Structure 1
Amino acid sequence: MLLQFNQISKNFGGLQVLQGVQFHVPEGGIFGLIGPNGAGKTTVFNLITGLLRASSGNIVFDGQDIGNVAPHKITERGIARTFQNIRVFKEMTLLENVVVGMHDHLDYGFGGLLLNLGSFRKIEKEARERALELLSWVRLDHKAEMLADSLSYGEQRKLEFARALATKPKLLLLDEPVAGMNPAEKTELMAEIINIKQRGFSIFMIEHDMRFVMGLCDRIAVLNFGKIIAEGTPDEIKNNQEVIEAYLGKEEE
């Protein structure tokens, strides 16, 4: 398994947000974590990316415990994340946004950076070429020199995908990728996520849009009030009575 989330609990003072949560994310597919608003999904991502520390349990990524690893080190190990609230640099071009995502992987060397030697120019050229390639993956290469502020909401989300992929992740975390989108935008973004998977990336998304997740994921876990109440294939989840009650409420007898 690429990512193992083992019996994780998280408390904030006297409030227990996660209680013994366990699931495993396989390599090469799309794994989804769904649940009603307030279920604890974002806390899971914040723990994986090092923004929070678990109260108990451990998180293993690519065979190594990452429970006490700093966020920038987790990125270096191969985990990239998008956020529910889009975070692109709107006054930069699309190309510049993606190059920024490559920062930790560019080996300029102090001398090259200081003197603008040929090695620096070569690396810079390669970075721009790679950024353009990533933009082509999300069909935004024709807008590479435009400012990010000129993009539609859905296009900004795709730009965020390209920038995350620039870090060369082994695992891409998507935080509520279709939040605020209309049905047409959701359909287009679904195609982009499938394209990313087909290029060999492993994807883990959290989402409350059950229909969107059902159409994408190979395996799904359901979080409700800080506990995993079900895990399985989309068909298994769709027909799980406890999941139905969590989303629709239990009928009064």
Structure 2
Amino acid sequence: MLLQLNDISKNFGGLQVLQGVNFNVRQGEIFGLIGPNGAGKTTVFNLITGLLRASSGSIRFNDDDIGAVAPHKITERGIARTFQNIRVFKEMTLLENVVVGMHDHLNYGVASMLLNLGGFRNAEKEARERALELLSWVRLDHKAHMLADSLSYGEQRKLEFARALATKPKLLLLDEPVAGMNPAEKTELMSEIVNIKQRGFTIFMIEHDMRFVMGLCERIAVLNFGKIIAEGTPDQIKNNQEVIEAYLGKEEA
């Protein structure tokens, strides 16, 4: 398994947000975590990326315990994340935005950069070529030299994906990727995510749009009041009575 959450609990003072959470993400799949508002989904992402520490339990990535690893070290190990609120550098070009995501992988020293030596120039050239390739994956290469501020909402989302992929992740975490998008943008983004998956990436998303999740994910886990109440294929999840009650409420007898 690429990612394993084992008996994870998280408390904020006297409030228990997660309780005994167990699930895993397999190499090469698209995995979804769903649940009503306040179920604890974003807390799960914050634990995986090192922004929070679990109160108990373990998180293993590539069979290494990452529960006490700093966020930048987790990125270096191969976990990248997009956020629900778009975080692109709007005053920079698309190309510059993606190159920024590569800074941990550029092989030149400070002296090479300051003196504009060959090592710096070669690394910079390779970075720009790679950035253009990543932009082509999300069909934005034709806008590479435009400012990010000129993009539509959906295009900014795709730029975020390209920048996250620039970190060379083994696992890409998508936090509500279609929030605020119109139906056409959602359909286009679904195609882009499938394309990324087919290039060998593993994707783990949290999302409220059930149609989007059911049409894209191979396996889904459902979180409700901090506990996993179901896990399985989209067909298994949408026919699960406990899941239906979590979203729609239980009928009175």
TM-score by length of 1: 0.99
Cα displacement string for residues 63-97 of structure 1 (whole angstroms, at most 9, x for unaligned residues)? 10000000000000000000000000000000000
CA distance in 2, matches of 1:155, 1:199: 20
CA distance in 2, matches of 1:177, 1:142: 22
Q: What is the identity, as a one-letter code, of the residue corresponding to 1:203? A: I
How big is the shift at 1:145?
0.2
Partner residue, 1:195: 195
Partner residue, 2:237: 237
RMSD: 0.6
In structure 2, the residue corresponding to 1:20 is in which secondary structure?
Answer: strand
Partner residue, 2:55: 55
List aligned pairs for 1:1-253, cutoff 5 A: 1-253=1-253
Q: What is the identity, as a one-letter code, of the residue corresponding to 2:197? A: K
Moved more, 141-150 or 177-186: 177-186
In structure 2, the residue corresponding to 1:235 is in which secondary structure?
Answer: helix
Q: How many residues align?
A: 253
How big is the shift at 1:110?
2.7
Cα displacement string for residues 165-208 of structure 1 (whole angstroms, at most 9, x for unaligned residues)? 00000000000001111111111110010000000000000111
Cα displacement string for residues 101-138 of structure 1 (whole angstroms, at most 9, x for unaligned residues)? 00111111232112111111010000000000000000
User: 5+ unaligned residues in a row in structure 1: which ranges?
Assistant: none
- Percent identity between matched residues is 89
Q: What is the identity, as a one-letter code, of the residue corresponding to 1:226? A: G
CA distance in 2, matches of 1:241, 1:211: 18
TM-score by length of 2: 0.99
In structure 1, the residue corresponding to 2:216 is in which secondary structure?
Answer: coil
User: 5+ unaligned residues in a row in structure 2: which ranges?
Assistant: none
Cα displacement string for residues 25-80 of structure 1 (whole angstroms, at most 9, x for unaligned residues)? 00001000000111000000000000000000000001100000000000000000
**4+ aligned runs moved over 2 Å, structure 1:** none
In structure 2, the residue corresponding to 1:215 is in which secondary structure?
Answer: helix
Q: What is the identity, as a one-letter code, of the residue corresponding to 1:113? A: M
